[in-house]
Amino acid sequence: MSGPAMRHMRTKVEEQFVPMLDGLRAEALPHGRLLAGGVQLLIDHYRETFRVMDERSRKICWYEFSLTPEIFLAMGVHPFLGESHPATMALGTPEVCWEYVDVAEESGVPTELCVLDKFLLGALLRRELPEADFIVTASAPCDSSRIGYQMFERLVDAPVFRLDAPADDSPQAHAYYAAEIRKLIGFLEEQTGNRFDADRLREVCEESNRATEAVLEIFELRRARPCPHPGAVSNSLYQAMLNSLGTPAFTRYAEFLRDDAEEAVRAGRGAVANERHRVLWYYTPITFDFEMNAWLEQEFDSVVLTDLLASSLRQDPIDTTSVDTMLCGLARRGLEGTMGRVRVSADKLIQRFLLDYEYFGADCVVFPGPVGCKHVWGWIGLLREVCRERGIPMCVFDVDWMDSRVRPVESIRKSLEQFFSVTMAAR
Amino acid sequence: MQEQIDFGRWAGPMENEAVARWRTDGGRVAGYFCTHAPEELLWAAGLLPLRMRATGSPDTTGADPYLGSNNCSFVRHALARVLDGDLAFLEALVVTNSCDHVRRIFDVCSAKAAVPHCYFLDVPHVRSDSARARLVAQLRDLRCKLESDFEVTLDDAKLTSTLKLYNRTRALLLRASALRGEDPPRASGSELLTMTVASASMPKDRFNELLEPHLEQLEARAVRAGAERRPRLLFVGGMLDDPGYLEVFESLGADIVDDQLCCGAKTFSRQTDEDTDPIEAIARRMLEHVPCPRMVDDYPARLSNVLDAIDRHRVDGVVCQRLKFCDLWGGEIEMLRSSLMRESQVRLLVLERDYLTASGIGQLRTRAQAFLESLA
Ligand code: SF4
Ligand code: SF4
């Protein structure tokens, strides 16, 4: 295949995202005002990726969940989180997911691997991933990514740095992972020729803290009845954070959402006019059903307060006193603030679930269990028991959160319809 | 002539005659998952360590509320056996972070208090010095827990003598393995798997006592007569504890001359260093002895192990088998397939199976036959 890498994505950005942004800004699409900033960040991130790739003006790092961008920004590296790419590529065009999954499976990749890893492998084979100067993996969150990255490495001629992510979330585990990040700095110095500068890291962490402070306030405001913003907003925030946390542009977006939520709460304005149900959407959003949140709002007066991934954004600031404290903060943020979060024990996951349920004042749970996500299926049973004991209504179904052929939109909506019109209506 | 020992007596369901005898003598029993577990610590604490298996499991009903149908069938059967109370004799369970399926066994068993003492070891996924130090700290912690939970003293001297006992087992199995690698072999692949499974299902000292004279018999065994060369196979893959699966190939005229199976050669693939701090030595072996796809930094070592075995044993065909829904082995086999296509002339058969193999034997026979014909 000749020509520049990521041809499809370059076209998609200009021909789909840019008009979409115009539509959002013009409020031609639901909640446009609130979502436009997220799409703008996405466009900027991809345009910058293409520019850096074409000009080779900086090094590009393909990194994995369980890390956030700050350390790369501080080292003058362009960060590209592999796992955020599939959802963006398939946004509004689910057939793109089918194509890459098929390419991967035809090349011999087992069907039962997580869709993220199959998609990434297909995209890699089709040159739809950035030509990274190096790869950084975290050996988390799951078997699929652990073996997935070993497969990717063989197709990419680039050095790889592997961190060891512990399965625990204790302060000791964070300290261990902080030491891993310290080793990563050595690797980045070697690869880039840039010296680590503690003051530069502090600057980035402070920027990142400004954003996460606003994010904390946003979530605090989402506890209000009615909830001021729709579920799509927390998705958008999460997606934008993955590659842009630590940049002033992301901070501005978070602060804009915070100010807007504040005003909405003051005015008693909710995402849903007559909010009836407050839903904890516990796991991934369904990427091929763009209208899911709006449909729940319209049909059942239900607002999605947060999903599991977005809720992980509620993080204390990074202590910028010293390099050690910053690395510890980055370790915690990477491990607990991305999908890396699900690497812990079922017991820990349940504790967090209960905290989230209570914090947001939810009255039901929707749990879409991804078929490729094996550890989640070893957790759902225990979670179900806890919910039953506490009288928490729960709607569980299996799904592939990106490949609509596994369970199409209609089938997902049918399960939800049944849940809201029978279980929730009876309450 | 001394009677041949049938190690199949101990390689069937977990509660075998040796376990029953151990318990009658007042001994306590611990189960463990998987090849990465620090078996020696359990033995030194006076427990009989048994590798968790589910041979003969009737169904997975007991585990179904806790695991999905996309969890590996070995894990589903094993959890069902624990939750159904079939393994009520277990006083401890050590679960390592071997894979996402296995680690949830720990979560469910501890939530349900299915075994009096459940321990989890977060075995790192890389082999760096810092990763090993993290593992050493966990092993020291496990040692303290075992000491207090079972009111024993687990000193270095006890540990070192355990390492010697275990190394003896490994050395004996290695000797047996050499016999199956001969051309023609003096021992079969299924015999070897039976021995290795038995070795993880009974006290090691008794196993060693039995294996030693048995080995002498095997070494004196006449080699197969006749000039016909049978296809020589290498078996690779994750959980497989059923020698009957290998017998299908052998009954069709193949020799299984080596393996890289979790319950097979991986159990004796490297000795533990007896001349250093025993916990450090156990940690080192845990991280380095078993090239396993869960380790993210050693595919080249795993591939070179396979290539070496092909070379050393003049292998004609590699059989890669894995359990359905096992991501790790699914990806590994795919990588091996493409590497072997590039780097070796050897043919490859990829098999996907359920843990209990009996139902798939007819189909296996057909696939095996076709594969062996392709090697002719
Ligand atoms: S969805 Fe599950 S299987 Fe997929 S990458 Fe995330 S943790 Fe892994
Ligand atoms: S076969 Fe695979 S999924 Fe099953 S226990 Fe072993 S590593 Fe885990």
pLDDT per residue as tens digits for the range A219-228: 999 999 999 9
pTM equals 0.96
- List per-residue pLDDT tens for chain B, 376 residues long: 567 899 999 999 999 999 999 999 999 999 999 999 999 999 999 999 999 999 999 999 999 999 999 999 999 999 999 999 999 999 999 999 999 999 999 999 999 999 999 999 999 999 999 999 999 999 999 999 999 999 999 999 999 999 999 999 999 999 999 999 999 999 999 999 999 999 999 999 999 999 999 999 999 998 888 768 899 999 999 999 999 999 999 999 999 999 999 999 999 999 999 999 999 999 999 998 867 999 999 999 999 999 999 999 999 999 999 999 999 999 999 999 999 999 888 999 999 999 997 778 999 999 999 999 999 8
Cβ–ligand 2 distance for B83 under 6 Å, the answer no
| CB within 8 Å of B199: residues ≥ 6 apart | B169, B173, B207, B211, B267, B268
Give me the pLDDT at residue B1, please.
55
Residue span(s) of chain B under CATH 3.40.50.11900 come to 157-375
CA of A142, closest atom in ligand 1: 8
User: For the CA atoms of chain A, what is the radius of gyration?
Assistant: 21
Residue span(s) of chain B under CATH 3.40.50.11890 come to 7-155
Cβ–ligand 2 distance for B318 under 6 Å, the answer no
Q: Which of A142, A151, A375 to mutate to test the pocket of ligand 1 (most atoms within 8 A of CB)?
A: A142
Q: State yes or no: pLDDT of A3 exceeds 90.
A: no
Residue B92: which of B170, B147, B153 has the closest Cα?
Answer: B147
Q: How many angstroms separate the CA atoms of A390 and A384, rounded? A: 10
Q: For residues A419 and A281, is the Cβ–Cβ distance under 8 A?
A: no
* Residues in chain B within 8 Å Cβ distance of A162: 125-126, 296-297
Give, in degrees to the nearest 5, the angle at Cα B349 between B346 and B354. 150
CATH fold for domain A200-423: Rossmann fold (3.40.50)
Cα–ligand 1 centroid distance for A284 (angstroms): 9
Determine the distance from the C-alpha atom of residue B188 to the mean position of all C-alpha atoms in its chain, rounded to a whole number: 17
Q: How many helices (H) and strands (E) does chain B have?
A: 13, 8
The 3-state DSSP class for residue A206 equals helix
A46: enclosing H helix or E strand: helix A32-55
By Cβ distance, the residue of A143, A151, A346 closest to B335 is A151
Q: For residues A279 and A366, is the Cβ–Cβ distance under 8 A?
A: yes
Give the pLDDT mean for A269-291: 94
Separation in Å, CA of B369 to nearest CA in chain A? 23
Q: For residues B10 and B17, is the Cβ–Cβ distance under 8 A?
A: yes
Q: How many angstroms separate the CA atoms of B324 and B363, rounded? A: 16
Report CB contact under 8 Å: A347, B110: yes
Give me the pLDDT at residue A123, please.
97
Give me the pLDDT at residue B290, please.
66
Residue A357: which of A261, A279, A275 has the closest Cα?
Answer: A279
Which CATH architecture group holds B7-155? 3-Layer(aba) Sandwich (3.40)
Centre a 10 Å sphere on the Cβ of residue B26 and count the other Cβ atoms it contains.
Answer: 6
Give me the pLDDT at residue B173, please.
98
The 3-state DSSP class for residue B158 equals helix
Q: Which residues of B155-194 are buried (b: 16+ CB within 10 A; e: fewer)?
A: eeebbbebbebbbbbbebbebbbebbbeeebbbbbbbbbb
B306: enclosing H helix or E strand: helix B299-312
pLDDT digits (tens, 9 = 90+) for A112-158: 999 999 999 999 999 999 999 999 999 999 999 999 999 999 999 99
Separation in Å, CA of B132 to nearest CA in chain A? 11
CATH for B157-375 (3.40.50.720, 3.40.50.11900, 3.40.50.920, 3.30.499.10): 3.40.50.11900
Q: State yes or no: pLDDT of A1 exceeds 70.
A: no
Separation in Å, CA of B22 to nearest CA in chain A? 33
Report CB contact under 8 Å: B128, A109: no
Q: For residues B223 and B186, is the Cβ–Cβ distance under 8 A?
A: yes
Chain A: residue whose CA lies nearest to B99 = A143
Give me the pLDDT at residue A9, please.
97
B299 touches chain A (CB under 8 A): yes
Separation in Å, CA of A162 to nearest CA in chain B? 8
Give the pLDDT mean for A90-109: 94
| CB within 8 Å of B206: residues ≥ 6 apart | B18
Give me the pLDDT at residue B227, please.
64
Give me the residue spans of the domains in chain A: 200-423
Give me the pLDDT at residue A340, please.
92
* A117 backbone dihedrals φ, ψ, rounded to 5°: -75, -35
Report how far apart, in Å, the C-alpha atoms of A409 and of each of A286, A289, A403 are: 9, 6, 10
B238 touches chain A (CB under 8 A): no
B321 touches chain A (CB under 8 A): no
Give me the pLDDT at residue B106, please.
98
Report CB contact under 8 Å: A377, B71: yes
Q: What is the share, in percent, of chain A residues with pLDDT greater than 70?
A: 100
Give me the pLDDT at residue A216, please.
97
Give me the pLDDT at residue B4, please.
83
Report CB contact under 8 Å: A147, B332: yes
Structure tokens at A14: 């200009």
* Residues in chain B within 8 Å Cβ distance of A369: 68
Among the bound ligands, the one closest to the CA of B324? 2
Report CB contact under 8 Å: A378, B101: yes
Q: How many angstroms separate the CA atoms of B7 and B191, rounded? A: 8
Among the bound ligands, the one closest to the CA of A82? 1
Task: Tell me the average pLDDT of chain A.
Answer: 96
